[in-house]
Amino acid sequence: MNIKHLLTEKTQAAFVALGLPADTNAAVTVSTKPEFGDYQINGAMAAAKLLKMNPRQLAEQLVQKLELADIADKAEIAGPGFINVTLNKAWLATQLQLAAADSRLGVTANTTPQTVVVDYSAPNLAKEMHVGHLRSTIIGDAVVRTLEFWGDKVIRQNHMGDWGTQFGMLIAHLEDKLAAGIDLEQVALADLEDFYREAKKRFDDEEGFADKARDYVVKLQSGDVHCQKLWQLFIDTSIKHSDEVYQKLNVTLTHADIKPESAYNNMLQGIVDDLKQQQLAVESMGALVVFLAELADKEGNPSPFIIQKTGGGFLYSTTDLAACQYRSHDLNADRVIIFTDARQALHFKQVELVARKAGYLRAATAYDHCPFGTMMGEDGKPFKTRTGGTVKLAELLEEAVVRAKAVVQEKATDLTEAEVADVARKVGIGAVKFADLSKNRTSDYIFSWDAMLSFEGATAPYLQYAYTRVRSILRRAEITDSFNATLNLVEEQEKQLAVKLLRFEETLQQVIKDAQPNLLCNYLYELASLYMTFYEACPMLKDGIEPAVRDSRLMLSIITSRILKQGLDLLGIGVMERM
């Protein structure tokens, strides 16, 4: 059930009856204040402009033609031509009753499923995952879960950085270690991060080392067996690390989703030859470059997009062009969504432009780079360890669970040891995820343990606690999951809660369209808050409540608990019965 859709359809039918085109924008929005009803139809103003008519007059005609019979009690004109719609309680109760009987909680079937490739997480291997990859991983996973729930065909792609120049440097350093008698086993068990740092230092400081490193890259990329064997060691060890992080984070990525940079290696020469042949790429100072006039700077210099380096090496950019070809043509994607930090925005603009010109991206494939901002420390600077190093994700998540445990123990009275451990894990990981997911994707945000672990405000603990409260009410009322009663919406708080519950699909659609899980976070927070208001105003367990009233309210509670649980699950956040 999508009330916004329904009102849009009704409004468009009314537009047609007035002689306007069927696709006239109905501009239906959720009302911001109770005195404006539940929804507003704002399309009369723009349509009146087209017709050179007085907007209020058009709004009046529109209301005449609107067939809202049992859906709404009122459709009132306000201001210059807004139409405020107040929904009918009996109609809402019927819709919600249908949603309650449905395993999809009233979310309509997806009649035109799309194939969506989602490129997320994508850590650079041979380094441990750090907090920078947290955002891509969890935002991507929330969007993936939502797309799947909606019924699209999702292809996850973990575009791991396993093929860059850093591997030349690592192999060169490893070769020297082996020559000095250190065995491979030992290296495999050592801290990758330390190994990387040592190699990088030599790369920057040691005469001749950088050249050696570059030679190894060329060898590796042209299929040298020995180099590949050493390379594989770094890859295996790194993937073990990322597995551990994914598991801790409760994200859905598996080995089968790894489609790393190296997987496109055998396509790169073909891409480069083709771009030359199409005369899109030209030689410039020894490198092959596509110049993009569309992205010219202020002086009119076109933006250079290098696809092959001097000396023949391929780049990150070449690989992304190959990925376009593969996703659009081989996987037949209707949409490609890529989550990286905002600093890569230009890169993806360039990739899309080149790929469209060259025919690697079909016109029917949407290409959405979804950037995100930086995670900041409480000092307002990019999040670092106390000594200024990058924060390892695995360690951060461990700390979250420890901190959550302390918070939970302060509150809990009668949980067993095992329950405390389970709750601490769900609250700790949930808190880190929700704090991130609830922020507008494109803004930077401040990472604060105290804020994210608070039971007040929009946090995971608040929502998890709200869920346990609803569940405890249901337990006290001795209600089972199969309980079913007739909904009857009488009080305003009951109605408000019902409208919110029926807005679940609308919210998911918006999350999908904008790739913005924060919309779902807001929705769940508002739902939980409305439930609390309802609970205060509409007693269920007090003596003297009429059974039919009580049962209707318990039904509202059941649906609320189911939507809270489902919604949090789409964010990859667990709930529990008690905390």
Binding site for ligand ARG (CB under 6 A): 119, 122, 124, 159, 161, 320, 323, 338, 340
What's the min distance (Å) between Cβ of 132 and ligand ARG?
A: 7
Q: Which amino acid, residue 169?
A: M
What's the min distance (Å) between Cβ of 347 and ligand ARG?
A: 7
Question: Among residues 104 and 362, whose Cβ is nearest to ligand ARG?
Answer: 362
Cβ contacts of 576 within 8 Å, gap of 6 or more: 419, 422, 423, 426, 464, 467, 468
What's the min distance (Å) between Cβ of 164 and ligand ARG?
A: 8
Return d(Cα 282, Cα 279) in angstroms, integer: 7
- C-alpha torsion sign, points 500, 503, 504, 510: negative
What's the min distance (Å) between Cβ of 519 and ligand ARG?
A: 23
Question: Among residues 327 and 500, whose Cβ is nearest to ligand ARG?
Answer: 327
DSSP label of 106: T
What's the min distance (Å) between Cβ of 124 and ligand ARG?
A: 5
Question: Among residues 37 and 161, whose Cβ is nearest to ligand ARG?
Answer: 161
Question: Among residues 321 and 558, whose Cβ is nearest to ligand ARG?
Answer: 321
Question: Among residues 12 and 340, whose Cβ is nearest to ligand ARG?
Answer: 340
Question: Among residues 95 and 136, whose Cβ is nearest to ligand ARG?
Answer: 136
Return d(Cα 536, Cα 38) in angstroms, integer: 22
Question: Among residues 333 and 575, whose Cβ is nearest to ligand ARG?
Answer: 333
**Helices then strands (H, E): number in the chain?**
21, 13
| Per-position DSSP letters for 368-393, written without gaps between them | EEEEE--EE-TTSSB---TTSPPPBH
Q: Which residues pair with 154 in a beta bridge?
A: 116
191: left (phi over 0), alpha (psi -120 to 50) or beta: beta
Question: Among residues 307 and 489, whose Cβ is nearest to ligand ARG?
Answer: 307
What's the min distance (Å) between Cβ of 295 and ligand ARG?
A: 18
Question: Among residues 119 and 436, whose Cβ is nearest to ligand ARG?
Answer: 119
Instruction: For residue 341, report the phi and psi dihedrals to the nearest 5 degrees.
Output: -70, 160
SS3 state at 363: coil
What's the min distance (Å) between Cβ of 261 and ligand ARG?
A: 8
SS3 state at 29: strand
What's the min distance (Å) between Cβ of 11 and ligand ARG?
A: 41
Return d(Cα 372, Cα 390) in angstroms, integer: 18
What's the min distance (Å) between Cβ of 369 and ligand ARG?
A: 9
- C-alpha torsion sign, points 568, 572, 577, 579: negative
Burial label for 194, CB within 10 Å (0-12, 13-18, 19+), is exposed
What's the min distance (Å) between Cβ of 114 and ligand ARG?
A: 19
Q: Which residues pair with 85 in a beta bridge?
A: 39, 75
User: How many C-alpha atoms does 149 have within 13 Å on its Cβ side?
Assistant: 26
What's the min distance (Å) between Cβ of 9 and ligand ARG?
A: 38
Question: Among residues 338 and 470, whose Cβ is nearest to ligand ARG?
Answer: 338
Question: Among residues 139 and 540, whose Cβ is nearest to ligand ARG?
Answer: 139
First to last CA, the chain: 33
Question: Among residues 11 and 136, whose Cβ is nearest to ligand ARG?
Answer: 136
Return d(Cα 518, Cα 146) in angstroms, integer: 12
What's the min distance (Å) between Cβ of 363 and ligand ARG?
A: 20
What's the min distance (Å) between Cβ of 119 and ligand ARG?
A: 5
Buried b or exposed e, range 345-383, using 16+ CB within 10 angstroms: eeebbbbbbbbbebebbbeebebebbebebbbbeeeeeb
SS3 state at 337: strand
| Per-position DSSP letters for 456-515, written without gaps between them | SSSSHHHHHHHHHHHHHHHHHTT--TT--------SHHHHHHHHHHTTHHHHHHHHHHHT
Could you give the C-alpha distances from 438 to 36, 186, 505, 524, in angstroms and in order? 27, 42, 18, 10
Cβ contacts of 510 within 8 Å, gap of 6 or more: 516, 519
